[in-house]
Amino acid sequence: MSAETVAALKARFPQVSDRPSLDHPAVNAPAGEVPEVLRALRDGFTFDFLADVTAIDWSQGRTPRFTMVYHLYSTTSHEYLRVAADCPSDTDPVVPSVTGLWPAANWHEREVFDMFGIRFSGHPDLRRILMWDGYPHFPLRKDFPLAGIEAPLPDPDVVAETGVSAKPAPMAGGPFVASAGEMNLTEAEPRAKDESWTERREKPGA
Amino acid sequence: MLRCEGLFFNEPTALMVTANTELTYNSKIEGDVVVSRADAVINWVRTNSMWPMPMGLACCAIELMAVASSRFDIARFGAEVMRFSPRQSDVMIVSGTVTYKMATALRRIYDQMAEPKWVIAMGACASTGGMYRSYAVLQGVDRIVPVDVYVSGCPPRPEALIDALVKLQDKVKRERSAQKLFSS
């Protein structure tokens, strides 16, 4: 079923190509044609459920740097399909919104905008959803450290009273990860595996 | 039949009752006046009905609900009246992870509470940021409001929160309340 879907989709959209995938079938599509491709999948191939909208940052220096990922589900054939689209610009990525196809895309795209800084043309309400309005960074970009970057808090009266700002979190040698497969619980305790990227030392190559 | 302080007793053991073992105030013995320290009276009033502001932000709030429920029953310590209006609350129980986005709202709620007010930082996240060494999480609620009692645990047992409340009551009992009240 999925193979036929992908073949039929590629016949209809010559720009769509196969994408390597370990689990569900996946295709690449040009970012500008994502709404048409998704509309065809929704209306013609029963992929009527938008399970997730997310993005990938391939790290600075890579072209294309950002890739949009859409996870579709068919409530008829109970299959997943993944559509990926490379964003055309590495510095100011803009892709068309799919809120017109699924209202559920609204908050997903806001989250992608909040975390990656990818803007969506045609989005009805493109505001940050997790971080506060006016936060200057995009936390899930690869050049953003886990501990964070100092940034002012949004309420001037609270800041005036407390003098608090969003500061980098003390990583204490982290990030901490548990080693998989260790049977000895003492050895398997979460501990610092990679000390090369903390608030004191920048990530190499950043 | 024996007569003792205007009461009639049938049992001879009633002879053991003397005026000094009265636990309650007896106006017949002491008159209509009680002498005490203002601090003692004010603190006695404050300690025994601390109305919490349930600042439930994460899983600690589930334990906070358990504390208020029948098994642990914080009503035994006079703190069962959870008020969702900060203007009616005495003690803010910060139970959960405080993100930077929430931190300013938390400070606003604290500012709206009437004096005297206290803060309990419940659990690892509220005390230190806990396991969330992250760009989004305030690393300890004491960075934005003054904290009176810290409770360890992730989340703490309900008994730990009750212990924190009792410790806070001990702290309030030692406060120089009258001095603060009349000097300001």
Q: What is the ipTM of this complex?
A: 0.76
For A23-39, the pLDDT digits (tens) are: 899 999 999 999 999 99
Per-residue pLDDT of chain B (184 residues; tens, 9 = 90+): 344 444 444 444 444 555 556 567 777 777 777 788 888 889 999 999 999 999 999 999 999 999 999 999 999 999 989 989 999 999 999 999 999 999 999 999 999 999 889 999 999 999 998 888 889 999 999 999 999 999 999 999 999 999 999 999 999 999 888 887 777 6
Residues A134-153 have pLDDT tens digits of: 899 999 998 888 888 889 98
Provide, as residue numbers in chain B, all residues whose Cβ is less than 8 Å from the Cβ of A174. 133
Cβ–Cβ of A146/B135 closer than 8 Å?
yes
In this prediction, residues A61-72 reach a mean pLDDT of 93
Output b/e per residue, B66-77; b: 16+ Cβ within 10 A: bbbeeebebeeb
pLDDT score of A63: 87
- What pLDDT sits at residue B2? 41
A139 touches chain B (CB under 8 A): yes
φ/ψ (deg, to 5) at B33: -125, 135
Structure-model confidence comparison of residues B14 and A62, the more confident one? A62
pLDDT of residue B118: 95
Q: Does B84 touch chain A (CB under 8 A)?
A: no
Average pLDDT, chain A: 86
Residue type, A177: V
What pLDDT, on the 0 to 100 scale, is given for residue B99?
93
Domain annotation for chain A: domains and CATH numbers: 2-121 (3.30.460.80), 156-192 (no CATH)
A144–B143 CB contact, under 8 Å? no
Q: Are B45 and B39 in contact (CB under 8 A)?
A: no
Nearest to B135 among A158, A161, A169 (CB): A169
At residue B50, φ and ψ (nearest 5 deg) are -90, 115
State the DSSP H helix or E strand holding residue B123, giving kind and residue range, or none if neither: helix B123-128
- Pick the closest to residue B112 from B78, B83, B74, B75 (CA basis): B83
The reported pLDDT for the residue numbered B10 is 47
B136, A131: Cβ pair inside 8 Å? Answer: yes
pLDDT at B34: 77
Nearest Cα residue to A169 out of B129, B167, B87, B102: B129
- Using the Cβ of A164 and the Cβ atoms of chain B, whether some distance falls under 8 Å is answered with yes
- A154 falls in which pLDDT band (50, 70, 90)? confident
What's the mean pLDDT in A74-99? 93
A161 touches chain B (CB under 8 A): yes
- How far apart (Å, rounded) are the C-alpha atoms in residues A159 and A205? 35
For residue A107, the 8-state DSSP code is: H
Give which of A146, A148, A150 is closest to A193, Cα–Cα.
A146
CA distance B84 to B104: 17
CB B134 within 8 A of CB A148: yes
Cross-strand partners of A28: A17, A84
At A173 the pLDDT is 64
Least confident of A17-21, A174-178, B171-175: A174-178
Confirm if A174 and B133 have CB atoms less than 8 A apart.
Answer: yes
Cβ contact A155–B108 (<8 Å): yes
